[in-house]
Structure 1
Amino acid sequence: MRRVSYQFPNHCDLVFEHDVPFQEAIRSICKLDGSQTNFRTERGLFKREIHVEIARDKTGFERVRTDSDFIDDISERADFLLQINDTLLKGEGRYPAAEYSFLLRVDDLGSRIEGFIVQQGRDGEVDALDLKNLLKGALS
């Protein structure tokens, strides 16, 4: 079943292809949900969390699952909403630092996929190219 959203615009910020089968790509993207990494900048230590949702009923999104029944039911095209949250970690507490939101469309091209990334909002350090690199790492 195609999981598409009417919210996906006709233009995109970045288009890429990757040599990975569609179902494997969907599984890898779904596994990103809830993942966390830490990184350090001159401002301090940060935690980065990724939340992934998939299109539902063409008008909304729902949290992804990683079970085979859920993933095997997705075919041809899937639209995702990815939210990346950065939190500054300090001794006295945690402070929200940034939130980035992207729409991602993945199309099945046989033994490879084509991805379309749309950045929602233009503020911050993370952009469509950063998301592409993160996805390529997850898909490899």
Structure 2
Amino acid sequence: MANIPTSTSVRESAVIEAHPSDVWHAIKLQDFAKWWTRLEKSEWEKGQSPETDIVRWTFKDGTVLDVKQEEHSTIDHYITYSVIACQPPLSYTSVVSTIRVYPVTTGKHENHTFITWSGNYSSDADAGVIEDAKFKRREALADLEKALTKK
């Protein structure tokens, strides 16, 4: 069977009924396990230099990802990270993801948050990888909202 041509990027978004500052403070890479139900733990990787922001995500299915924070803007409210190691190995070469938080300033969702989570994959990622990324991001955004709105 021939490979199916596909986009190598994904972008999912949601409106979260929580204040933007609450959402922004929840999306620290080392804190993802506090709200993403697929994760067993998320913690700073030991043995790294202080200048290298690497977090290990251990998923409940046994997958372990080392993610490196590439960018972080407290002014524009986004983080960008890349996957630098994975066990078991990934079926593609690389991915860089960005999560952005925007305040909703008017309308029925005023004082809530619009959030996007994008991923740009290397050209060897197939349609299955992109579909999996789409559904995992949707699920994670729903988990984030549940964690932030339960009171």
Structure 1 residue 28 corresponds to structure 2 residue 32: yes
Q: Deviations over 1:46-65 (max 9, x none)?
A: x5222211115x9xxxxxxx
1:29 CA drift (Å): 7.6
Higher strand content, 1 or 2:
1
Higher helix content, 1 or 2:
2
Structure 1 residue 106 corresponds to structure 2 residue 106: no
- Extract unaligned runs of 5+ from structure 1: 1-10, 39-46, 59-72, 88-95
- Extract unaligned runs of 5+ from structure 2: 1-6, 17-22, 35-41, 43-54, 104-112, 144-151
Structure 1 residue 19 corresponds to structure 2 residue 15: yes
- CA distance change for structure 1 residues 103 and 97 in 2, over 3 Å: closer, same or farther? closer
One-letter code aligned to 2:134: K
TM-score (norm 2): 0.47
- CA distance change for structure 1 residues 49 and 17 in 2, over 3 Å: closer, same or farther? same
Secondary structure (helix, strand or coil) at the match of 2:138 reads helix
Identical residues among aligned pairs (%):
8
CA RMSD after TM alignment: 3.7
One-letter code aligned to 1:34: W
1:107 CA drift (Å): 1.4
- CA distance change for structure 1 residues 124 and 14 in 2, over 3 Å: closer, same or farther? closer
Distance 1:126 1:83 in 2: 20
